[in-house]
Every structure is written in C-alpha cells, then in structure tokens.
C-alpha cells in the first residue's frame, strides 16, 4: 500500500514511525514549513514530523498551503493508495482528498462523534469524561465527520494531564492506524457512518477558556489545571501578576472564591465549592516551579486574593 503521510507536531510522530516500521511504502511526508521560534525569531525550526521523516530518509514536502498547484501536481505523481493525516494543521479540500485511490484517513484522539475539533484531549479532561480513545476515520469535507474505520477506547485516569494523555493516545493511534490499514487492505473493514446527532465539539483553546473562574467548584478548576498542562496553562491573576496553575487537588475547605487560605508549605485557594490545592505555579516571566518554592520566595501569602 503506497502511503503519503500528512502531519506536523510531536503527536503525529508515532504514527509515522509505525507506518515505516510495519513496512508500508511511505512515498512522501507532507508537513508545514519551518517556522521561526524563540525571542529573536531568527532561527527557523523544523516541525517534529520533518525531523522524524528525514531520519528515515523519506521525501519531505512543505507547501505553504496544500492547495499550491505545484504540490498538487507532485502528489498526483506519487500515485498514493491512501493518505494518512495526523494533526497536519490544514483543512484539506475535496480535490486533495480525491487524489489517493482509497481517499484519506485521519487519526483522531477521541471516540468520534464525541469531541470533533481542535482540542479533543483537553475537552475530555475539562468536562470530566471517564473514557476517551482514538478513532481512525475517512476524511470527508466536514470537520471530523467522515465514516469510521476503527476505534480503540481508553480509560482517563483522574489527574492525568493533557500532555500525558495526548502522548498516550498518540501511541494508541499509531497502533490503531496499523490495524485499520492492514485490515482495510484486505477488505476486512467496513466504513461505518457517524451518528451526527451524538456529535460534541472541542473548539480551539483560547485565553479566556484557560482563565480560572474562582466561582466554579474546585473539581472543575482542578480539571482545568490538568487539561491545560503543559500548554496553554490554566491562569489567574494575583494583584497585577498573571500566574499559571498546575496540578490541582480538591480540599474540603471553604472561603471567599479566589482567597488564599493557606500559603505555608502549600498553596490553598478557595473556590465556589471547596478549595483547590496547587502543586506548581508559573508566575509571568518566570520558570515553572513548585508552589512551596514560590511561597518561600514570598510570591504569595494567606489572605491575598486571586482573580
């Protein structure tokens, strides 16, 4: 089976590695262009998928847009049987989806039709879901709405971070992808349409979504500190300082929402219901640190108010 792989971030690397390791004929890897990073913006940094592809000696294509005529011509010349898409970062147009003989398949980190969209892992944690998983689906013109080839479920452990769950689902997705393609090649899988009436949506994480609302119950804020770890980080302000909060735990205490109830060996903040104990913080302009170290540095004291 001739494969063209589309992907950009670290999440996509296990699937690419699995395809190569299982002997699929990966003719080319499509990823986003190198982008400048760092404060000086002077050095262009390649995407993780490009680094992985070059290590395997694979051809790498980096169109600014996947609708570029030159890129489309090159893709047709590769004559792929299937395109595999894992967090590529562009919505693919129908004319591109139609190039591979068997279409394009996507590795999506949720049990579709639940959590269609940009941030399914984070929203599953934010809303307190007990189960998530990975879905291998055929792409259509909609947003994660195509028919399903294969799914693997996974239990969400309380307190797991968005980063850790994403990494685990990336490995599961690689496994599910290989299983699906092997069976599909032998006509051992049928495409199952999604039940669109059950669809839920996982929109892009914004700064406002990441901001802590202290009137909410402590468990909701704890989930926020888990889901948005490491990025973008749940945040609040203490006076004029913006502070990111990580590793929240619910404690049976009450107080004025946002009030620092304890800043002696641990950081405890009152919520709308109960209180939140925080393991780590990152004040603006500083490195992430243990809350106890911040307290020792007199970054916060009991009686102060988070907003």
Where do the domains of the chain lie? Answer: 2-202, 207-296
Q: Out of 3.40.50.300, 2.60.40.10, 3.40.50.170, 3.40.190.150, select the CATH number for domain 2-202.
A: 3.40.50.170
Q: Kind and range of the H or E element at 168?
A: helix 162-185
pTM of the model: 0.95
Task: Identify whether the C-beta of residue 244 lies closer than 8 Å to the C-beta of residue 161.
Answer: no
User: Taking the alpha carbons of 251, 253, 259, 263 in that order, is the dihedral positive or negative?
Assistant: negative
The helices-and-strands tally (H runs, E runs) of the chain is 9, 17
| pLDDT score of 53 more than 80 | yes
Residue 37's pLDDT band (cuts 50, 70, 90): confident
| pLDDT score of 38 more than 90 | no
> What CATH code would you report for 207-296?
3.10.25.10
Task: Identify whether the C-beta of residue 23 lies closer than 8 Å to the C-beta of residue 203.
Answer: no
pLDDT tens across 123-168, in order? 999 999 999 999 999 999 999 999 999 999 999 999 999 999 999 9
Give mean pLDDT, residues 230-242: 96
Residues 86-125 as b or e (16 or more Cβ within 10 Å = b)? bbbebebeeebbebbeebbbbbbbbbbbbbbbbbbbbbbb
pLDDT > 90: what percent of the chain?
91
User: What pLDDT is recorded for position 232?
Assistant: 97
Other beta carbons within 10 angstroms of residue 231's beta carbon come to 11
| pLDDT score of 40 more than 70 | no
Determine how β-strand 241-251 pairs with β-strand 275-283: antiparallel
Residue 122 CA to residue 115 CA, distance in Å, equals 10
């Amino acid at each position: 089976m001739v494969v063209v792989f589309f992907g950009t971030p670290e999440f996509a690397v296990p699937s690419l590695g699995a395809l190569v390791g299982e002997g699929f004929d990966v003719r080319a890897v499509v990823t986003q262009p190198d982008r400048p990073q760092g404060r000086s913006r002077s050095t262009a940094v390649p995407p993780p998928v490009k680094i992985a592809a070059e290590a395997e000696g694979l051809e790498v294509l980096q169109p600014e847009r996947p609708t570029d005529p030159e890129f489309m011509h090159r893709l047709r010349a590769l004559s792929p049987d299937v395109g595999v898409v894992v967090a590529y970062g562009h919505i693919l147009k129908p004319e591109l989806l139609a190039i591979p003989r068997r279409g394009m398949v996507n590795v999506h980190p949720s049990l579709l039709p639940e959590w269609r969209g940009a941030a399914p892992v984070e929203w599953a944690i934010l809303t307190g879901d007990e189960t998530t998983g990975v879905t291998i689906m055929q792409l259509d013109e909609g947003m994660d709405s195509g028919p399903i080839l294969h799914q693997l479920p996974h239990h969400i452990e309380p307190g797991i971070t968005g980063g850790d769950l994403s990494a685990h689902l990336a490995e599961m997705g690689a496994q599910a992808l290989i299983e699906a393609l092997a069976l599909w090649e032998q006509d051992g899988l049928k495409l199952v349409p999604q039940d669109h009436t059950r669809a839920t949506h996982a929109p892009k994480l914004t700064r406002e979504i990441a901001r802590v609302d202290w009137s909410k119950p402590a468990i909701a804020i704890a989930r926020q500190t888990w889901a948005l770890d490491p990025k973008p980080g749940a945040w609040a302000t203490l006076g004029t300082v913006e502070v990111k909060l990580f590793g929240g735990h619910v404690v049976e205490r009450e107080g004025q929402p946002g009030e620092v109830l304890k800043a002696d060996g641990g950081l405890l903040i009152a919520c709308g219901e109960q209180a939140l104990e925080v393991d780590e913080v990152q004040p603006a302009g500083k490195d992430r640190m243990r809350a106890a170290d911040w307290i020792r540095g007199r970054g916060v004291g009991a009686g102060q108010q988070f907003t």
